[in-house]
Amino acid sequence: MSYAYRVGGSLAPEDPTYIQRKADTELHHALLAGEFCYVLTARQMGKSSLRLQARHRLTHSRQGRCAAIDLTRIGSADVTAEQWYRGLAFEILRTLRCHHRVNLLQWWAQQGAFSPPHIFSQFLETLLLPQLPGEPIFIFLDEIDSVRSLGFEIADFFALIRACYNQRADNPDYRRLTWALFGVATPSSLIANPQQTPFNIGRAIALSGFTFAEAQPLMPGLTSVTVNATAVLRAILDWTGGQPFLTQKLCAIVQQLGQTQTFKIPSGTEAFWVETLVKTHIIERWEAQDIPQHLSTIRDRLLGNAVSSGRLLGLYEQVLTSHTDCNPVKATGDAVQAELQLAGLILAEQGMLRVANPIYCRIFNQAWITTQFDHLRPYTVALEAWIASASQDESRLLSGAALEEALTWANQRHLSDIDYRFLSASQEQAAQWVRMELAVQEQANQLLAAAQRKARHVILLGYLSLVTCLVISAIALFMTLLRSR
């Protein structure tokens, strides 16, 4: 095959199917300007390929030396701060082909009891920069999200990056050192302290899906299958929304159609054939056909955290149904929205949220959402009945042990708005019943008190009557005794 699509993995800079996007130009210009850059977005959006392309472009044009490091090589489980910083220093030297010039282990040991961030800072200033005098140095860190699982405070590392930029005013040599981070994360998930984060001085590079104009390099592989490759490519992008992995995969599926059959898609039927291939090769039995994994990665990110999955499902359901109920969801950038965007499911467009592409809409549809909620909630049947009654049937609300169980389950979880409304209505009804029971009890207490007062009054009257009778009897007896004398 002379033209092969690449489904999964990083694309080499010379790969004919690599798509140059707006992000390529923005990243290149920002790096040359010495800006701290970060590309933080969903998986399989082409971050690693973008990094390789940027590195190739800079080194091929002799505009600087690049150290591109996958942080998963250093590790995160049971790694100490010293091991991590020293490992990062070694990887920088290795990828710049400078590791044979210095004995890093010996130099590191000579630094004594200084903290690992301090030693790493000294490494940059006294070892790295002098090794490449006069040359711009670009350090690319991929899989930056892996630092969240480290067992020590990583905020010091980001503070160190910020310090590199702040020191440019005092030490011009630092102007030669430029950082770029790549990963599946948000700045706030990596470092929460706004006083330490470098992200408020950095440049975010947005990595969006392919436009039709950008996707033109994919056209050659489709010409053997159709008389109108332009129409086929448009139909593919209509389904994938330009998502890089899905676009490459669907192009490969269309291309295979021509290899297995002496057949060309007739003009005017391109949309029909692409839709058929999407249904049969991607949507139907999607879990079995999800090779390499893409859809299951999105599913696992959505459902993997029992604490937040309910809230994520609830927001996704709102976004999914927003185009039919004419109730668009505004993009606020909150943590739940950011997590769904990192999963790749939704996009922010013109201040509103939408599902990233029709393939996701078909697979992660309303029936799928309902099934996931059924697995999550211990009160699904009652909730669905309450919703079906337009939230009016109070008999469907929870009470007693069922309410206690639901509240225990919901504790520390982020749920959908409808869950919160249902549980709040159940609690309010339970509170009303308690108030009614208290009122009834109070009324009963008042009646009992009145009865007790009445009883005491009756007893008192009886006592007085008895005393009166006794007195009268005593007088009568006394008079009788007097007469008998």
* pLDDT tens per residue, range 244-260: 999 999 999 999 887 76
Quote the domain boundaries for residue 94. Answer: 22-204
Range name among 215-229, 248-262, 340-354 with the lowest pLDDT average: 248-262
> Looking at the domain assignment, is residue 150 inside a domain?
yes
Q: Give the residue among 17, 24, 81, 94 at the shortest CA–CA distance from 57.
A: 24
* pTM to 2 decimal places: 0.79
Residue 103 lies in a domain: yes
Q: Is residue 108 part of a domain?
A: yes
In order, the DSSP letters of 328-378 are PPB----HHHHHHHHHTSEEEETTEEEES-HHHHHHS-HHHHHHHHHHH-S
- Rounded alpha-carbon distances, angstroms, from residue 137 to 33, 96, 116, 343, 383: 12, 9, 22, 32, 58
Quote the pLDDT of residue 261. Answer: 65
What is the three-class DSSP state of 29? Answer: helix
pLDDT of amino acid 1: 44
Residue 234 clears pLDDT 90, i.e. is over it: yes
Number of domains the chain contains: 1
Mean pLDDT estimate for the chain: 89
In a domain? residue 403: no
Phi then psi dihedrals of residue 139, to 5 deg: -110, 115
Angstrom distance (rounded) from CA 136 to CA 129: 9
pLDDT-derived band at 194, boundaries 50, 70, 90: low
Give how far the C-alpha of residue 284 lies from the chain's centroid of Cα atoms, to the nearest Å. 26
Cα–Cα distance between 90 and 315 in angstroms, integer?
43
| pLDDT of res. 435 | 79
Whole-number Å distance between alpha carbons of 15 and 240:
21
Lowest-confidence region among 6-15, 114-123, 304-313, 434-443: 434-443
Domain assignment present for 485? no
Domain containing residue 54: CATH number: 3.40.50.300
CB 187 within 8 A of CB 148: no
- Average pLDDT (89-104) is 93
Distance CA 162, CA 308 (A): 32
Confidence of residue 121 (pLDDT cuts 50, 70, 90): very high
In a domain, 408, yes or no: no
* pLDDT > 70 fraction of the chain, expressed in percent and rounded: 97
Counting residues of the chain whose pLDDT is more than 90, the rounded percentage is 58
Strands 346-349 and 203-204, sheet pairing: unpaired
Q: Tell me whether residue 318 is in a domain.
A: no
| pLDDT, mean of residues 248-273 | 88
Q: What pLDDT, on the 0 to 100 scale, is given for residue 95? A: 95
| Per-residue pLDDT reduced to its tens digit, 146-186 | 999 999 989 999 999 999 999 999 999 999 999 999 999 99
Question: Residue 192: its pLDDT value, please?
Answer: 75
pLDDT at 2 over 70: no
Say how far apart CA 453 and CA 457 lie, in whole Å.
6
Mean pLDDT score, 312-332: 87
Q: What is the pLDDT of residue 57?
A: 94
Q: Is residue 70 part of a domain?
A: yes
Residue 10 has phi, psi (to 5 degrees) of: -85, 145
pLDDT band at 289 (very low <50, low <70, confident <90, very high): very high
pLDDT tens digits, residue range 381-439? 788 888 889 888 888 888 887 888 778 777 756 677 888 888 888 888 888 877 777 77
Q: If DSSP codes are grouped into helix, strand and coil, which group holds residue 11?
A: coil
Q: How far apart are CA 180 and CA 207, in angstroms?
A: 14
378 pLDDT band, cuts 50/70/90, is: confident
Look at residue 260 in the predicted model and tell me its pLDDT.
67
Among 35-44, 238-247, 428-437, which stretch is predicted with the lowest mean pLDDT?
A: 428-437
